[in-house]
Amino acid sequence: MKNIILIATAIALFVVGLNAMFIVDEKNQAIVTQFGRPVGEPITSPGLQFKIPFIQKVQFFDRRFLEWDGDANQIPTSDKKFIFVDTFARWEITDALQFFLRLRDERGAQSRLDDILDGETRNAVASNDLLDLVRSTNREPEVTEDFLDDIETLEDISIGRDAIEALVLERANERVLDLGIRILDFRFKRVNYVEDVQQNVFDRMISERNRIADQFRSEGQGEARVILGEMERELARIRSEARREAQQIRGRADAEATRIYAEAFNRNNVSRDLYQFLRTMEAFEKTMDENTTVILSTDSEFYRFLMGGN
């Protein structure tokens, strides 16, 4: 029985000891609460810590940078253009005790940031033109193609996107000073037209692209006509030179054939007779076929050769 009591006492002391100790790691900070109220200062150093067991509890809070992601809202700009604005921010807990007293936990902080950042975003968008929300600097458009030479000059902006984001960040931080948090950064994640305006913008972009395409097509057709004209002139020149060369070759061949015929004709009587016979046969071949009827006189050369006489 005594041993059982000792074991139970040891277990009880062990449980009490475990409940009296807690560990704060590098990524967290903590406050100790007693009956729901904070006790002492926030614990920001990592390591083993102690509290009153079963009476006090520990609330942990993140020491790292935290994310806030806003909802896309439809907001009119000062120049009466309706746009969807999607934003995001990064924040941190700077005073865990004040944070616990005012916001309790991260869910409460996210809800409060929704009110503050969304409100400041609406104020900033409604107070500035669309150009200031999408551009940060005044600059000349860089023209890299000849067909863009007639592009319109960009309008100047008065404040710019970066300055608007910095203004929202500054005003939001002024409103969270007593919440134990600090907003580190704020950015416009996306700025877009509402659906009806989007279609008009797309139509205008398509019209501009079609204009440039027509210009390319017109220039290409003109260039094609120049190339075709040069090709036809070159082809005509080549054909003319080929015909001239062919005629020269044909002339030289005819002259050579005539020379050979003349030499054969003047060589002797037998050759002359053979030449006359061959020429006559060639004439027969060119002028008559199996359906040709020929009437010859007895003193014609055709008759003489046909009859085999001299």
- In order, the DSSP letters of 70-100 are PPPEEEE-TTS-EEEEEEEEEEEES-HHHHH
* Whole-number Å distance between alpha carbons of 58 and 52: 10
The domain boundary residue, chosen from 44, 62, 80: 62
| 160 in any annotated domain | yes
The Cα-based distances of 124 to 24, 33, 84, 110, 121 in angstroms read 41, 40, 13, 20, 5
Residue 146 lies in a domain: no
CATH number, domain containing residue 107: 3.30.479.30
- Examine the domain organization and report whether 181 and 208 are in the same domain: no
186 and 303 both lie in a single domain = no
Confirm whether 145 is domain-assigned. no
Same domain, 131 and 233: no
Considering the domain architecture, whether residues 274 and 300 belong to the same structural domain is answered as yes
pTM: 0.62
Structural domains in the chain (count)? 4
Strands 56-62 and 47-50, sheet pairing: unpaired
pLDDT above 90 for 193: no
Q: Is the pLDDT of residue 102 over 80?
A: yes
Q: Is 8 in the same domain as 51?
A: yes
Q: What's the CA gap between 68 and 189, in Å, rounded? A: 12
Residue 112 scores a pLDDT above 90: yes
Res 74 pLDDT > 60? yes
Instruction: Check whether residue 98 and residue 184 sit in a common domain.
Output: yes
Verify that 98 and 188 share a domain, yes or no.
yes
Domain assignment present for 129 = yes
Range of the domain at 42: 2-62
Report whether pLDDT(181) > 90. yes
Higher pLDDT, 3 or 129: 129
Structural domain contains residue 242: yes
Final residue before a domain boundary, out of 17, 32, 62: 62
Q: Please indicate, yes or no, whether residues 132 and 179 belong to a single structural domain of this protein.
A: yes
Residue at 58: amino acid letter:
V
Residue among 43, 50, 48 nearest 95 (CA): 43
Tens of pLDDT along 113-156? 999 999 999 999 999 998 889 888 887 766 566 555 555 567 78
Same-domain pairing of 92 and 186: yes
- Residues 188 and 211 grouped into a single domain: no
Q: Give the per-residue pLDDT at 107.
A: 92
One domain, residues 116 and 228: no
pLDDT band with cut points at 50, 70 and 90 for residue 36: confident
Q: So what's the pLDDT on residue 309? A: 53
Cβ 133 vs Cβ 127: under 8 Å:
no
Instruction: Average the pLDDT over each of 45-54, 131-140, 264-273 and give the range with the smallest value.
Output: 264-273
DSSP state string for the chain = -HHHHHHHHHHHHHHHHHHHEEEE-TTEEEEEEETTEEEEEEE-S-EEEE--TTTEEEEEEE-S-EEEEPPPEEEE-TTS-EEEEEEEEEEEES-HHHHHHHH-SHHHHHHHHHHHHHHHHHHHHHTS-HHHHH--S--PPPP-SGGGTTPPPPPPPSS-HHHHHHHHHHHHHHHSGGGTEEEEEEEEEEEEE-HHHHHHHHHHHHHHHHHHHHHHHHHHHHHHHHHHHHHHHHHHHHHHHHHHHHHHHHHHHHHHHHHHHHHHHHH-HHHHHHHHHHHHHHHHHHH--TT------TTSHHHHHHTT--
Considering the domain architecture, whether residues 261 and 273 belong to the same structural domain is answered as: no
